[in-house]
């Protein structure tokens, strides 16, 4: 499946594309194709000035996300088939999303989290994060379960983002009429 993906044509998918609502399936093929996909996703994430990107955000309903909270290339991370554990604390902050440009939503997230995942070769690892890293991992993992920040929007954020969301829906409909 992954070997059939044209990485050069991979782009960030925008709300309300239905792939953003899919519950993603586990990755079963590891190796060079997955590594190439992860590299392309990191490239798109950095180009979009984001800190995280999940596979459904590039149109692929698989359980994988990439992230980097520092901007330093050595801090690029790839999480395949992630599971979040040890969520502790709680803090609210505004979140944005590469699939919802210009939209911000106040989100309450755990302040710390442990992620158990695999790398692109299939080797299991654990990483614990706090603050921004914990927030990003939770945000990206939500994408793997078909959830976006609009699902938790309070009324005040709905009103503040109404025009942007309307524009994104109109743009999506116009692209799909072609």
Give the pLDDT band of residue 142 (cuts 50, 70, 90): very high
Q: Would the pLDDT of 30 be above 90?
A: yes
Verify whether residue 88 is a known catalytic residue: no
Better-scored residue on pLDDT, 4 or 98? 98
Mean pLDDT on 65-82? 97
CATH number for 40: 3.90.45.10
At residue 1, the pLDDT reads 67
| Residue 85 domain boundaries | 2-177
**C-beta atoms surrounding 89 within 10 Å:** 12
Q: Would the pLDDT of 152 be above 90?
A: no
**Nearest alpha-carbon partner for 103 in 140, 27, 158:** 158
Mean pLDDT on 123-137? 97
Q: How far is CA 138 from CA 8, 94, 156, in A?
A: 28, 14, 23
Cβ neighbourhood burial of 59 (10 Å; 0-12, 13-18, 19+): middle
**C-beta atoms surrounding 104 within 10 Å:** 16
At residue 151, the pLDDT reads 93
What CA–CA distance (Å, rounded) separates 145 from 156? 25
**C-beta atoms surrounding 20 within 10 Å:** 22
**C-beta atoms surrounding 166 within 10 Å:** 10
- pLDDT tens track for 158-172: 999 999 999 999 999
User: What is the total count of domains within the chain?
Assistant: 1
Paired sense of beta strands 64-67 and 124-130, if any: unpaired
Among the listed residues 92, 102, 111, 140, the single catalytic one is: 140
**Nearest alpha-carbon partner for 102 in 41, 20, 157:** 157
Give the pLDDT band of residue 35 (cuts 50, 70, 90): very high
What CA–CA distance (Å, rounded) separates 177 from 166? 17
At residue 178, the pLDDT reads 65
Largest CA distance in the chain: 47
Give the pLDDT band of residue 17 (cuts 50, 70, 90): very high
Counting every residue written for the chain, the total comes to: 178
Q: Would the pLDDT of 3 be above 80?
A: no
What CA–CA distance (Å, rounded) separates 25 from 62? 5
């Amino acid at each position: 499946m992954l070997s059939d993906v044209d990485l050069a044509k991979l782009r960030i998918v925008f709300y309300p594309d239905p792939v953003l609502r899919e519950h993603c399936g586990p990755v079963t093929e590891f190796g060079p194709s997955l590594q190439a996909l992860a590299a392309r996703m990191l490239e798109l994430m950095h180009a979009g000035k984001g800190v995280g990107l999940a596979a459904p955000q590039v149109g692929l309903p698989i359980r994988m996300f990439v992230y980097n909270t520092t901007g330093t290339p050595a801090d690029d991370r790839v999480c395949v088939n992630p599971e979040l554990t040890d969520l502790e604390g709680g803090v609210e902050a505004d979140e944005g999303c590469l699939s919802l440009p210009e939209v911000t939503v106040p989100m309450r997230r755990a302040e710390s989290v442990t992620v158990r995942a695999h790398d692109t070769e299939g080797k299991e690892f654990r990483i614990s994060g706090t603050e921004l890293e914990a927030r990003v991992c939770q945000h990206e993992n939500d994408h793997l379960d078909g959830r976006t920040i609009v699902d938790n929007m309070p009324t005040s954020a709905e009103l503040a983002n109404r025009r942007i969301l309307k524009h994104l829906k109109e743009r999506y409909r116009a692209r799909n009429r072609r």
